[in-house]
Amino acid sequence: MRTVTTQRRAPLSVSDAPGPEPVRPFLKWAGGKRQLLSQLARFQPAKFGAYCEPFLGSGALFFDLHSRGVLGDRRVVLMDNNADLIGSFLSVRDDVSRVIRSLKRLSDAHQLEPSVCYYRVRDQRFNPARRRLAPNDESTTRRSERYTPALAAMLIYLNHTGFNGLFRLNSSGGFNVPEGRYVNPRICDASNLRAVASALARPGVEVREDRFESVCEWARPGDFLYFDPPYAPTSATSSFTAYTPGGFSVDDQRRLQQIVVELARRGCHVLLSNSTAPEITALYTDNVVARAAGLRAHRVTSRRAINSRGTARGLVDEYLISNISPSSSAE
C-alpha cells in the first residue's frame, strides 16, 4: 500500500463556541447513523486536522459535527462512489432553490395521487433521466457532476416516499424500490435543505464522487476519518450490501481494513462502524496487525431499521472500531 509523504499540519483544537444552525440529513440511507450519534461522539478526538467521510451516505455524522460547531474552518472531504448520492449533494449545494421548487411540485402531485405519482416519477422520469447520464467515451466529467436540480429533487422525493428510504438498482441499472407505506411523508423541508446547502458551501468543504481508497493519497497525521461502509452481513439472509451499486464484497472489506490500518499507522484518527459478522471480528478484533496499529473494536447497540419484516427489526450489536480511546467506558 502506497504511503504519501506530506507536510505535517498542526492539529486544531475543538472549539467550544456555539455551533451554526442545526442541520439534519436530507436523505434517508440504509445504515444511517443518526441513532448512533451519541456513541460516535465518544470517539471524537480532542484535536484533529482535516475531517473526512469516505462513505458519505446520509452524512449524519458530518451534519452533527457541523451543527455542534466542531468542524470550524477545517478542511472537510465528503466522498462516496454512489454517483446519485453525490449528485444530489452537489445539486443541493449549488442550486438549492431549484431543488426546492421541483420538490414542491412533486409534493403537490403526490398529495393528489400518491401511488400514481410515485411510479410515474420512478419509471417515466427518474430512470430515463439517469440513463441519459450514463458515461461515454467522450465524457470528461463524472456522472454526479452532471446531475441536475430536477433529478436531485426526484431522488429526494423517491427517497422520502419509497420503501424504507432504500436506494436499490436492478440488474439493468434501474432504480426499482417500490412505494413505501407513509400516511403523510414530509417531502420538501425547505428550511433544512437551505441549511444543508449552507453547510456544504462553506469554504473548505469538498464533496466528490470517489472510492474510499483515494484517502491514502492525501490523509495526514492528525486527520480524523470516519468510515461507514456497507456492513458485512451477519447471516445468509441479511445483506446490507444490496443497497449500494455494485455491492461491497468480502475482498472490499479486506482492502478497507488494510487502508484503516495504514492510516492508523500514519498517525490519523480513524473510526469505523460495521457489523459484528465473523469476518469483521477476524479482520479487527482477532487480527494481530490491526491491534498492533492501535485499533480496538467496541460493541454498541443499534436498532435494525431496514428489514422488510417489521417483526425482524430490533436491537442488534455493531462494532465501532477505532484507534481513539472512547470518552467513557460504557461499552
pLDDT at residue 49 in the model:
98
**Domains of the chain, earliest start first:** 12-81+210-322 (3.40.50.150), 84-190 (1.10.1020.10)
Structure confidence at residue 246 (pLDDT): 58
Question: pLDDT tens digits for 145-195?
Answer: 999 999 999 999 999 999 998 999 998 889 999 999 998 999 999 999 999
Residue 212, class by beta-carbon neighbours within 10 Å (0-12 exposed, 13-18 middle, 19+ buried)? Answer: buried
Predicted local confidence at residue 258, as pLDDT: 98
Question: What are the tens digits of pLDDT across the range 90-99?
Answer: 999 999 999 9
Higher pLDDT, 187 or 15: 187
The predicted model scores a pTM of 0.87
Q: What is the pLDDT of residue 179?
A: 96
pLDDT at position 51 over 70: yes
CA distance 202 to 197: 9
Question: Distance between CA atoms of 51 and 77, rounded to whole angstroms?
Answer: 6
pLDDT number for residue 299: 95
Q: Pick the range with the lowest mean pLDDT from 111-125, 215-229, 292-306, 308-322.
A: 308-322
pLDDT at 175: 96
In terms of Cα–Cα distance, which of 222, 228, 195, 246 is closest to 92?
A: 195
What percent of the chain shows pLDDT beyond 70? 84
Over residues 1-13, the mean pLDDT reads 40
φ, ψ dihedrals at 207, nearest 5°? -120, 120
DSSP state of 210: -
pLDDT in the model for residue 34 = 83
Mean pLDDT in residue range 283-303: 95
